Structure 1
Amino acid sequence: MINVFLLLGSNLGDRQTYLSKAIDHIERDIAPVILKSSVYKTQSWGRSDQPDYLNQVIMLSTDKPAQKILADILAIEKALGRERLEKWGSRTIDIDILFYGDDIICEADLTVPHPHLHKRGFTLEPLAEIAPRLHHPVLNKTVTDLKNDLADTLNIKKL
């Protein structure tokens, strides 16, 4: 079994409900959730003119291949009303694969570890809550080290 860390985010509609529904779908379609962080309210990253996000990190343990998880995640996002109209646009739900075990994946449609996770407080804060000693296989640092080195100054509030 492989530990998979996912980041959930929502900044449209009933954000908390979208996070909960995403977790329900993930548990039904991919694997049971083993750990989940608190929910964090964060400013929009990449585009400051959008509503604040609710973000949460969850950990699964599964034997599904990363590409299958990606396909399942995209189907869940679509089922929950996600529309991909613009890069970093507002969304009902966004689900990113942060880590797939210790694997390093560089494919056209999937890069793992997530290529931006070390730059984003809204990712590192909830990730550090549930996996502070998790090792980044490319950057050779723990999540805590990455969080401590973070230059991101966006406001992040634990709910």
Structure 2
Amino acid sequence: MTRVYIGLGSNIEEPLAQITQALAELAQLPDTQWLAQSRLYRSKAIGPVQPDYINAVALLDTRLTPLALLDALQALEQHHRRVRLEHWGPRTLDLDILLFGDQVIASERLTVPHPFLTQRSFVLYPLADISPALVLPDGTSLQQHLNACAPEGLQVLGD
């Protein structure tokens, strides 16, 4: 099985409920075992003016291939009525493969590690909740990237 980190985000149509439901649905993916999830975070949107996001990261083990997992995640997004009209626009649900084991993938459909993983506090801090000692495929540590990325505009929910 391959250890996989999935980033989740939602900012419209009851974002907290969207994320909570999506986390439960990830646990039901075929050939996949649920391991952990981060705390929930509120973050400011990137791009056009829009509501804040609710974000989280899930940790899974899977036997799915990277593209089969991508297809499964996109099917979940569609189930949540995801519309892809505007780059960085509002979303009912956004599911991103952040890391797929130690693989580096650069294809037309999928880039892993996620290209903005090391630049976004709403990804780095939830990752640290689950795996604070994580080392990325390029050999850099999660802690190095946390030190360079302030948690501005990031709020832990429920604290």
TM-score bucket of the superposed structures, by smaller chain: over 0.9
State the match for 2:4 in structure 1: 4
Looking at structure 2, the residues matched to 68 and 80 of structure 1 have their Cα atoms a distance apart, in angstroms, of: 19
Looking at structure 1, the residues matched to 151 and 129 of structure 2 have their Cα atoms a distance apart, in angstroms, of: 18
Q: Which SS does the other structure have where 1:32 is aligned?
A: strand
Looking at structure 2, the residues matched to 131 and 122 of structure 1 have their Cα atoms a distance apart, in angstroms, of: 15
TM-score by length of 2: 0.93
Q: Which SS does the other structure have where 2:28 is aligned?
A: helix
Matches within 5 A, 1:106-145: 106-138=106-138, 140-145=139-144
TM-score by length of 1: 0.93
State the match for 1:72 in structure 2: 72
Aligned residue among 125, 148, 153 for 1:155:
153
The number of residues matched between the two structures is 156
Looking at structure 1, the residues matched to 48 and 151 of structure 2 have their Cα atoms a distance apart, in angstroms, of: 12
- Deviation at residue 73 of structure 1 after TM alignment: 0.3
State the match for 1:41 in structure 2: 42
Structure 1 gaps, min length 5: none
